[in-house]
Structure 1
Amino acid sequence: MKLNLYQIDAFTDRIFGGNPACVVPLESWLSDEVLLNIAKENAVAETAFFVKKEDKIHLRWFTPDIEMDLCGHATLATAHCLKTILSYTRDQIIFETLSGDLIVTVQDDLYTMDFPSRMPTSAALPAIIQQSLNIQPKEVLKSRDYVLVYDSESDVKNIRINRQVFDQINLDPGGVVVTAKGDHCDFVSRYFTPQASILEDPVTGSAHCSLIPFWSARLHKKTLHAFQVSERIGELFCEDKKDRVAISGKARTYSNGACWIA
């Protein structure tokens, strides 16, 4: 069986930036084992698989290790694939997912995702995470992910993870996001996943489901400009909408090809 496969850099306006995702259109669902093996072979943070339905698109996301309940950058990549490669005519795309229906609106080259809000609440930091960090946070919160708040953008950029210690904790399907007020934007972040093939995710749309309501309340702003300051750098345009968040970004196609499944 031949499957088309597209690699797209999300949350960036240039290739080799943002977060790479693979997008695989399907006529019908393959077994979970096959989907996971394809994601492992692709060796990027997320592979998105979708099946077109009458008025919606059924979308699933797999890391090389597990299926995720929500993934922003692979959703954006899928919307970009549909619009720029597969000639999808609608400017509003409804994805049916494990996190409910997700709507992506397309305007010019900007993709706006309507995601659930996940306001984090105060939490205790597990000793294993504390021991794995070279710089300790000034504030600890949690929703799906642990949200560690730091004094400065430079602190976030200088975070180093002792992976031998960090991998002792299991946060399936979550991770640890470190964040601070930005020097030239509203806020910055980085994202780490213990026990994952890829320790640091270059740009994590789903983490902003917690970062947006937190920074909106902290900065008293509804619209926010954010950067995920991994090596690849991602840019996100955000809006707090109470029980929902809007996350916008751009994308670029890196490659298209095919894979063969026996």
Structure 2
Amino acid sequence: MNFENIILQVEEKVAKLVINRPKKLNALNRATLEEIHNALQACKINEDVKVVVITGAGEKAFVAGADIAEFANYSVGEGKDLAAKGQELVFDFIANFPKPVIAAVNGFALGGGLELAMAAHFRVASTNAKLGLPETSLGVIPGYGGTQRLPQLVGKGRAMEMIMTAKMISAEEAINYGLVNHVCELEELEGKVNGIVQKILNNSLQAIESAIKAVNDAYVDGVNGFESEIDAFGKAFGTSDFKEGTTAFLNKQKPDFK
């Protein structure tokens, strides 16, 4: 599969998806969003892929935002369509992806870039990372889930302040806010993420898929997350991974999940 704006590499069960527009600080345009979706679709059906890591090309930016030049002259209808299709094809698609998705934030993560990182299941940032939602400084609001996911991660008050002031926060502030899980030096970022990935790969990816859905269900209107958990917990008893995991535990062995 050939791409112009991203790079997709699959190695040892891990798909590395790199936003590759360094001259634009990896800004998102429609073409890039479509390529991200197509790459993730390929990862979803590829049984060799167990975990996805999303990052940006270069050392300056994860994704510095949306490509403003592309939508500066959009109408009301075009703007709404931009947000709706972007959320469906990429941001919600990532949030509900059945395999773990980790954002390796290696620089600026602003606007759509922070929204992309927040859609991932969790985030690891380098010390040079700057994160924010500056949309109100452009006379618009976050349109790729930022007004919804940021409060879930940092709380309503902090989210309101970040959106209203359009300010950037440092990686250290981001970890204090709960916006990222870990912070490390830029040259250590890949190794840090790989270490987490290896821990994930030791566990039942079938169980992890069920856990992703159960956690997400807690944030869906009209869905009882506790009921989703109970249902998924019960179904786990009928899987080969449950048999392997419990048998290995009782025999004091390391499980070999298929």
Question: Which one has a larger percent helix, Structure 1 or Structure 2?
Answer: 2
Instruction: Give the alignment's TM-score, normalised by structure 1.
Output: 0.30
Work out which of the two has the higher radius of gyration on C-alpha atoms and give 1 or 2: 2
Q: Which has the higher contact order (CA 8 A, sep 6+)?
A: 1
Question: Which one has a larger percent strand, Structure 1 or Structure 2?
Answer: 1
